[in-house]
Structure formats: structure tokens, C-alpha cells
Structure 1
Amino acid sequence: MPTVREVSFKIFQHFGVDRLFGNPGSTELPMLKAMPEGFDYVLGLNEAVVVGMADGFARSSGKPALVNLHSSAGTGHALGNLFTAFRNHAPVVVTAGQQARSILPYDPFLFAERATEFPQPYVKWACEPARAEDVPQALLRAFHIALTPPMGPVFVSIPVDDWDRECEMPGLPDLSLETLATPTGLDRLAALLNEASRPALVLGTGTADSHGWEGAIALAEKSGASVWVAPFAAREVFPENHPQFAGFLPAMREDIVRLLSDHDAILVAGAPVFTYHVEGSGPHWPTHAKLAALSDTQSHLAALPGDALGVLGSVGPALAALADTVNPRSFAGKQHSLDTPDAEMTDRYVLSRIAALRPDNAVVVEEAPTARGPMHDNLPILREGGFFTCASGGLGYGLPAAIGAAFGQSDKVLAVLGDGGAMYTIQGIYSAKLHDANISFLILNNSRYAALQGFASHFGMNSVPGTDLEGIDFVKLAEAQGIPARKVDDTSDLDAALAWSFAAEGPTLVDLRIA
């Protein structure tokens, strides 16, 4: 009979998995023994880096990512980015080492007590199989749950002595996991748009997760709707140079109502109604407008406020179907306008030059909270699969996610990072060098946690302790890990440094000293 290890790798290959993201520990070594030829091990020097890379890979490639963590300690290091993977709806299958079954009753060194509870509630499913022979079936179930919309991470704890045990080879079912909206639901959404005179589409991350780019364009152009990006959308949802692109909704209730006040019908697709960052009051959308929500995430519909229509189903296919059925209407709204910033070392100007000089089809991975607003006005996203960011709000995701995104597709990746966020997982640069990832790390360096300083006024604070980050030299940090880097503190050197980085085949870093 085959071993658990042999069967497990056949299951991995069944789901198109050809690499393992990890940082090896003693309780994982038997899993790594005799890995199949062509199955790569992607090393991260911290488990937060490991999970961030896996998340970026899964989202950019459209395939599940496999992660191996070390018992409780490694899982603990990974939890921040595991939470982000959960919010990102990234199909990440986590295996974690556990001590040998025979010594578990004696609280051995490096064992995981109540292992399945540790990552909850930020995994869709967690399991420690009762017997070694049950590991393959647990892994099959883990992949199916991770890939069922809304997708997300799962967790399987595996004792170290299970891998060499004999077991049977289970069947490998081929499941269709997409949830389609009902015809009745689609008819009601179409009626809402047809009865309106000034409709709006508010598109969230679920649009991109369900390949809804073309469907969204078709529906907007057919219905004459203005298109807004939902608050804190973590993917690209619509071409930001399209005449019908209206802009980005903030995470503030009153501002959302104000910006949507010109519309009498609003369809929110692939997002909750709505994501807020601060307290607000009053209605959640203009009182004169009808609102409907379309999502494959049940919690989005269960939390609908007020008198709204909710339809459960995969967003991309539903948008395409609606484009075939809604009545045609001319567009009469306003287009989002871009900045023309002065030539100074500000985030706005730097982002505008990145936009002007970026390679064709470049993919942007962003984690620069202070610059998110300026990015909307100066670095438009123009392609499907062209943007990834963190849905959770936790720092330390962007740098390793950019590396994973580079593994998941072939175009140049531009990692637009704040200096504070980059320092959370700066050792990820080593993985970029080790695997020759095609990335430009672009550090918007203002020497502070500027997002917190800017947010302080909301709480009546004039200053915030612990937010100054003077003296960090990113060029030396990059070069110490084998990556060429340049520093730019004057606009006269900006274009040359960006062009150098964008033309490079492997990883580079540019430390952009912005005011």
C-alpha cells in the first residue's frame, strides 16, 4: 500500500499544486522527504512571509496554494497574514506539523495543543485527522472547501509520524463549485436597473474573484450605469480610465450617501453594504434610491441594512447575464478625473511617474495606506488581474504577496509599499532573490507611520507616539539580501531610477524619499 505522503502528493497534483510554501521545522521533515520531481519548495524566512506569498500566488494564478507551517509557533507567526488570506478569499490550504501521536498524551516539546482551535475563526475549516489513514481524505476535503466560493484558507494539523504510515488511495472527484444566481434573482436585478433613470454599479473584490471584469464592462455600457469601486476593494474591478468610471467610495457612511446621491438605483456586486472604517449615522445609501446586492458571500446578504434586495450567486456570470437582458441606456454621468501633480517628491507625483513609465501589463501590489487616495488619482489600474491589496487592513502582506503574484503570472510586478508596512516582512526580499522574482519593490518612504498620524485628528489627537521611523536605509537592507537598489530623493533622478528598475529581469528596489 502507498504511504500517506505518497497519496498526499498525488492529491496535491490533482488540484494543480506544483509547489509548497514553507519554512521547515522538525515536525514537517517527514512531509518533505522524497518530494516528487518538479515539485518546488518556496522558502520564506518567516511564516508571515510564507502565507503572504501563498496568498499572492493563489490570487494571481487562480490556483490553490499549499502552505506548510511548523506546529503552534509557526502557525502563530503566520496568523496575521492568515487573517488577511481569509479576508482576501484566497484559496490557501495550510498543513501544520504536529508531534508524534504516541507522545501527545505527555505534552511533548513543540506540540500544538488544541491545534485546530488556534487559527479559528479565520479559516473556513480546521481538522486534525483522528487516524493517519484519514489524512488523505482530510486533505481532499480541505481543497474542496478552500475552493468553494467564497474561497478562503483551510487548516489541517498532521502528526509527524503519519506521513510514513500506509493508507488507501481515495477517489479524486472533480467537482464544479460555482454557485450561480437563480433566474428569478437575475430578473429582479434587471428590473431594478431597467426601472431606473440614473443607475450605479458599486463593484467589490468578489467581482474580480469571479472573473467579472468583462461582464462589468458589458453591463455598465449596456445599462448606462456609473461605476464606483466599493470601500476597501482588494482587487481590480473595472478599467479606471473608462468613461463610465466614477471613482472610489470611502469607508464613511455619510460620504457614501453623498457620492451616490445622483443615483436612483444602486447595484452592489461582490461587496458588503458597506465596509466602514469610522462610525457614522443616518441612512446607508440615499433614501430616494433602490438598492440591491449581488454576492456569493452569504454574510454580505445576511447583513444587508434597510429595505434592500439580496441575490446569492457568483458575481461574474451574473453581471454577464444581466448585460444580455437589461434595457440599453445612454450614459449621462461623470468620469473620474486624474491628478496633474507638480514635479515634487510627493506620493502623488511619484505615483504619476510610475503610471507613466510602468511596463505594459504590469501588475500592481499595494500596501501603502497613506498613499491609497493619491494612488486612485495618479496610478489607474487598467487591466484585469492588474491589482492586489490587503482586504484585512493588517500590515506585512504586500511585500510577500508581490512575490507570490510574480510566481503566479508572467508580467512585471510593481510592489508599491509604505516604509512602515515593508518593515513587517522585509526578510521576504530574500525569497524574491532566491527565486529570481520579477518585481520592482517601490518603497514610498516618508519615515513614519503617516496613516496613523493622519487618522489621529479623528480622535482629537495632535501627535501619536511610536510613529516616527527615521533612519531606515532600504538600499542597504536590499543589498544585504542580494538585491540591487537605488535611493531617490530628488525628482531629477526619479525617472531614471524607475526605468532602471522596470527594465530589470529580476528583483530590484527603489527607496523613494517622499515629502
Structure 2
Amino acid sequence: MTSNAPRSDASGSSQHEPFTVRHAVIDLMRRLGMTSVFANPGSTELPLFRDFPQDFRYVLGLQEAVVVGMADGYAQATRNASFVNLHSAAGVGNAMGNIFTAFRNRTPIVITAGQQARSILPFDPFLASTQATELPKPYVKWSIEPARAEDVPLAIARAYHMAMQEPRGPVLVSIPVDDWDRAAEPVPARVVSTETRPEPFVLEQIGAALDACERPAFVVGGAVDRAGGWDEVVRLAERHHARVFVAPMTGRCAFPEDHRLFAGFLPAMREKIVELLGGHDLIFVIGAPAFTYHVEGHGPHLPAGATLCQLIDDPAIAAWAPAGTAVVGNIRLGVADLLTRPAPKTRPLPALRTVSPRAEPSELMSVAFALQTLAEVRHADDIVVEEAPSSRPVMQNYLPFTRSGTFYTMDSGGLGYGMPAAVGVALAKPGTRVIGLIGDGSSMYSIQAIYSAVQMKLPITFVILNNSRYAALQDFAPEFGFGPSDPVQGTDLPGLDFVALAAGMGCQGTRVTDAERLHDVLRDALASSGPMLVEVVVA
């Protein structure tokens, strides 16, 4: 039945009109806390925004990849699904790079995509998405184009709950343009569990192995921070005197990098992982795959004599792990259960991690000096969103993160995430300083994000490390047979002026070539009330 009762909108007015799909969806979004709509406008989405509620916020991105990147950062920082509205096939296609990243980041995003009117779909109309549900696969958890207009609100409700269930991730609902004004019923309020407790029987086996081993090592990943399990993991490591490594390609900070037990970062290479974990008889991987590789490797996956255990929120990851015992469930709940066990035997503390020597200023500034200076200026609570792949190993030595929720990068390796994600994080954390630490090549994938930051007057400092090249590819080339002096085609990036690019979008910027100036420039930029860009020319 269709309700014709008086309806009050967000402005307080009352109207006698049929309750439509649009009303039902707006009501549902409000109840689910999805009142920020990340979007780039298209014709087939316009009916959703008629009489846009005053308590909602439209967050404009100038390209669809920017839209999804902002929504990703916002969802991760708020720990709730964000709402994205994209145009049909072309819009979703433009967004696919960051949809892929959201899938790898395990970020809950409800993506709605416009579709042409149902009545003309048989005639292959302009801007129609021919196979709308197939286009985003396999990088969404679920996609649907509802069979009837009145099914759209329930489809979005299901999409939200699926996005929020671990392992979290993006979902997509394709909505024909003429569905929004069709009659519908409100979606009933529901409570749906988003977390599962790991199986006690398997946790008991892992707990017993931890108690019995002599030299444990933990390998932690981004799911620790996503699940809010930071404090529990620290306590478990302290209880067992375990050395703690960060898993390869981890998108969140998962352990305080100034802690006595912190041992460093594992590279995405099998032989080097085995070498770094050598001497440990139990490897406990928490909230990460065991292991993510980037290049083909050979030999064993574990050091000789070591046993592998894994606690992960994704059953697919548990299934492909090459060895050991795996338990699936929420990371925080699983570690909390392990902490209820009786205290284990006392073990000696492992050796301290070797500290990198200080970087000194030089005529052509080093990345190490630039990041060391940023570490000295930055407050520990400032949030860094990073996308500077070639500088990441240096960052791991010179820019430590010591608090939960202060570091984000992409788990996917796909570029174009960092700048818009910084905008999304800043929207989610009002009053918190956000630093977008971006490589020169990476920034050009989604530099339009600066415009969104300016329009919303967000306290973001974009730090562009400009080495005039795709350094990651040049550094990686020897793995594929390039000699030391062999040119790597398409990897030089001369002539980019990031201060001018920022100015064109209304953002103040400064270019720094002198190491002696960097401290003061960064200090002033981090104190600004709105967005600032600092281009740092590095070797």
C-alpha cells in the first residue's frame, strides 16, 4: 500500500503527497548516518537531489575517481559506510580505479549509479549502462539493479548491511532515473550484526601455540586498526614479549612504531620476508594476509622450524594462506579472547630495532631529510594520508606513527587514492590537521581533489614530494632485467609546477628547494586554517 499521510521534510514543512522511492531512500540514509553524499552530477541521478534535505551535505568531486577516494577516506575515518552517487557506465568506469582500491582497503561504501529510464532500456538508449551489475565486478561485494522501482529502498538497505559486514567493502546499486518518483513504502528499522567472534576451538589452538613457543613474532596489518583492536594487540604483544612487524602493503598503522617491541616493516618479497622472520619459531599474523607478494619468489613461505597462525576477518584470505592455522572473525574480539587466557611463561625481551641515522641537509634535498623534518613539525595526532610509493621505505624509517587512526594509504597499489582520501578524512575529523603526503606522479591522477578541499575550507596540508619521475618504476626496473643505466620509458616527469596547479584551484602553495627553509614552511602550512600545498623538490 502507498502512504498518503502528511510528510514533514527536513525543513519542517508538511506536504500531502505520495511517499516515493526518493522519500524512502532519504529517510533510510538519515537513519543509517549517511547524510554526506559524495558525487559528481549526471543527468540520470538528478531526481534524487530534488528538494535536497537541509541536514544533508553534497560533497562535489570534479571526477568520479575523486568522488570514490573522498568517500573511502570518510568511511574509514568515521567507521561507517559512506554514500556515493555516480553517473551510469562512463561515471562508474572513471571511478573503477578507486573502487578497486576501496575493495582492497575493505572500505564500506554504498555506491548508487544512475541508469536510463526503464521504458527505453530495450532500445539501447544514450548513457545507458548495458550490464550495470557486471561493470564493477569483481571489485564490489554485491551489485544489483532492482527488478522493480519499489524495490530500490530495500536494495540500498541490503547494500548498506552487506558493506558493513566483515570483511567490509563497496557495493553498487544501479537505479533507473524514473524509479525515484515511483510510490514506495518506508524501510523498516533493523539491527544487523557486522562482526563475528572467532571460533573458540581454533583460538584455543592458537593460544596454546603462543604459550608454548620460545620466540614469537607478530605480523600486524590494517584490519587491526579497522576493527579498533590497537590497544588489544599492544597488550598481547607485551604479554608474550613478541617482536612486532608490519605486514607488506599495509594501508593503516597497526602498532605504535616507537614501541620497545616494534621490529619494522616486511617487504612484499617472499625471500626477504623469510629472512627477516628467521629465528622465530611462531609467526602470528593478525589482521593481514600471510603474505602479500609483489614479485615472483621461490623457496619456503616461512623460516625453517617456524609455525604459522593467522587471525583474519576475511575467510577468502584464510583459505589461500599457504600453511598454518587460521581463524576467521573480528580482530579486536579475537585478540580480546586471547587476552583472557592465563599469563604465559616469562620470556626474555627481544633485541631492539636498529634506529636509522639522522638525515642531514644537502644541496639537493633527500627524501629522508624531508620526511624527518615533517616528523619533527607534525603533532602525533595529525593524520597522514600517504601516496608516495617510492618514498614509503624512507617514510617507514623517518616518519613514525605512534597512535591509532593517524595513517592511511592504499592496500591496492593503485594510484589516485591519496589526495581525495585526505579530503574525506578531513571531512570526517573536523578540526584535525590532515597531511596529504603525495608523490608528484601520484598526485596527477586525482589532483582535482584540491578543488574540493578549497571549497570546503578544510585544514589539509598537501605535501608533494617532487623528484620529477615515476621513481617507483625506475627503482623496480632491475627486477625485470633492466641494467643500471638502461632508460625506463615513460617514467620521467619534467615541467610540472604544483604551486601553479594549486593556485588554479584557489589553493595557496609554496615550492621549497632549500633544506634550511623546509622546517619553517611546513610549520606555517600545518598551522593554516585552510588547505595549503607545499611542493618539496627532492633528489
TM-score class, shorter: over 0.9
Q: 1-side partners of 2:338 and 2:529: how far apart?
A: 42
The letter of the residue matching 1:343 is: P
Which of 436, 439, 448 pairs up with 1:427? 448
Matches within 5 A, 1:49-64: 49-64=66-81
Q: 1-side partners of 2:247 and 2:276: how far apart?
A: 12
- Tell me what 1:481 maps to: 505
**Contact 1:22–1:50 at 8 Å: present in 2 too?**
yes
**Contact 1:249–1:256 at 8 Å: present in 2 too?**
yes
Is it true that 1:451 corresponds to 2:469 in the alignment? no
Is it true that 1:72 corresponds to 2:72 in the alignment? no
Is it true that 1:167 corresponds to 2:184 in the alignment? yes
Percent of counterpart pairs with the same letter? 49
- Secondary structure class of the residue paired with 2:311: strand
- In structure 1, runs of 5+ residues without a counterpart are none
- Tell me what 2:373 maps to: 353
The letter of the residue matching 2:109 is: V
**Contact 1:202–1:269 at 8 Å: present in 2 too?**
yes
**Contact 1:27–1:97 at 8 Å: present in 2 too?**
yes
- Tell me what 2:325 maps to: 309
Is it true that 1:10 corresponds to 2:27 in the alignment? yes
- Tell me what 1:366 maps to: 386
**Contact 2:380–2:402 at 8 Å: present in 1 too?**
no
1:320 to partner: Cα distance: 2.3
> Structure 1 residues 93, 142: closer, same or farther in 2, change over 3 A?
same
TM-score (norm 2): 0.94
1:329 to partner: Cα distance: 3.0
**Contact 1:218–1:320 at 8 Å: present in 2 too?**
no
- Secondary structure class of the residue paired with 2:173: strand
- Secondary structure class of the residue paired with 1:116: coil
1:301 to partner: Cα distance: 0.9
The letter of the residue matching 2:412 is: S
- Tell me what 2:6 maps to: none
1:247 to partner: Cα distance: 0.5
**Contact 1:339–1:378 at 8 Å: present in 2 too?**
no
1:387 to partner: Cα distance: 0.6
Q: 1-side partners of 2:130 and 2:357: how far apart?
A: 54
- Secondary structure class of the residue paired with 2:291: coil
Deviations 1:146-171 (A, max 9, x none): 00000000000000010011111121
**Contact 2:141–2:163 at 8 Å: present in 1 too?**
yes
**Contact 1:221–1:331 at 8 Å: present in 2 too?**
no
Q: 1-side partners of 2:351 and 2:429: how far apart?
A: 34
- Tell me what 1:324 maps to: 340
Matches within 5 A, 1:39-58: 39-58=56-75
Name whichever of 119-128 and 329-338 sits farther off: 329-338
- Tell me what 1:32 maps to: 49
1:328 to partner: Cα distance: 5.0
- Secondary structure class of the residue paired with 1:93: strand
Which of 424, 429, 433 pairs up with 1:404? 424
1:331 to partner: Cα distance: 4.7
Q: 2-side partners of 1:460 and 1:249: how far apart?
A: 24
Which of 187, 194, 214 pairs up with 2:211? 194
Q: 2-side partners of 1:486 and 1:156: how far apart?
A: 42
Is it true that 1:177 corresponds to 2:177 in the alignment? no
**Contact 1:225–1:331 at 8 Å: present in 2 too?**
no
**Contact 1:226–1:331 at 8 Å: present in 2 too?**
no
- In structure 2, runs of 5+ residues without a counterpart are 4-18
The letter of the residue matching 1:88 is: N
Which of 93, 100, 116 pairs up with 2:133? 116
Deviations 1:465-502 (A, max 9, x none): 11111110000001110111100001121111101110
- Tell me what 2:413 maps to: 393
Which of 487, 492, 495 pairs up with 1:463? 487
Is it true that 1:342 corresponds to 2:342 in the alignment? no
1:408 to partner: Cα distance: 1.2
The letter of the residue matching 2:334 is: A
The letter of the residue matching 1:77 is: N
- Tell me what 2:12 maps to: none
Name whichever of 297-306 and 243-252 sits farther off: 297-306
Q: 2-side partners of 1:154 and 1:56: how far apart?
A: 16
Is it true that 1:504 corresponds to 2:525 in the alignment? no
The letter of the residue matching 2:154 is: Q
**Contact 1:18–1:38 at 8 Å: present in 2 too?**
yes
- Secondary structure class of the residue paired with 2:125: coil
The letter of the residue matching 1:497 is: V
**Contact 2:24–2:153 at 8 Å: present in 1 too?**
yes
1:255 to partner: Cα distance: 0.6
The letter of the residue matching 2:536 is: L
1:434 to partner: Cα distance: 0.7
1:323 to partner: Cα distance: 2.4
The letter of the residue matching 2:65 is: A
The letter of the residue matching 1:393 is: G
- Secondary structure class of the residue paired with 1:292: strand
Q: 1-side partners of 2:50 and 2:192: how far apart?
A: 30
The letter of the residue matching 2:456 is: H
- Tell me what 1:252 maps to: 269
Q: 1-side partners of 2:209 and 2:317: how far apart?
A: 19
Deviations 1:312-337 (A, max 9, x none): 11111211221231515345213332
- Tell me what 1:442 maps to: 463
**Contact 2:463–2:534 at 8 Å: present in 1 too?**
yes
The letter of the residue matching 2:418 is: G
> Structure 1 residues 274, 473: closer, same or farther in 2, change over 3 A?
same
Q: 2-side partners of 1:180 and 1:331: how far apart?
A: 32
1:207 to partner: Cα distance: 1.2
Is it true that 1:274 corresponds to 2:291 in the alignment? yes
Is it true that 1:514 corresponds to 2:538 in the alignment? yes
Deviations 1:439-488 (A, max 9, x none): 10000000000110110111111221111111100000011101111000
The letter of the residue matching 1:433 is: V
Runs (4+) of structure 1 moved beyond 6 Å?
Answer: none
Give the root-mean-square deviation of aligned CA atoms: 1.0
Q: 1-side partners of 2:58 and 2:463: how far apart?
A: 26
1:260 to partner: Cα distance: 0.5
The letter of the residue matching 1:469 is: L
**Contact 1:244–1:331 at 8 Å: present in 2 too?**
no
The letter of the residue matching 2:328 is: L
Q: 2-side partners of 1:125 and 1:226: how far apart?
A: 38
1:188 to partner: Cα distance: 1.1
- Secondary structure class of the residue paired with 1:161: helix
The letter of the residue matching 2:531 is: P
Deviations 1:47-89 (A, max 9, x none): 0000000000001111110000000010010000000000000
**Contact 2:84–2:111 at 8 Å: present in 1 too?**
yes
Length, aligned pairs only: 514
- Secondary structure class of the residue paired with 1:284: coil
Matches within 5 A, 1:182-261: 182-261=199-278
The letter of the residue matching 1:63 is: N
- Tell me what 1:493 maps to: 517
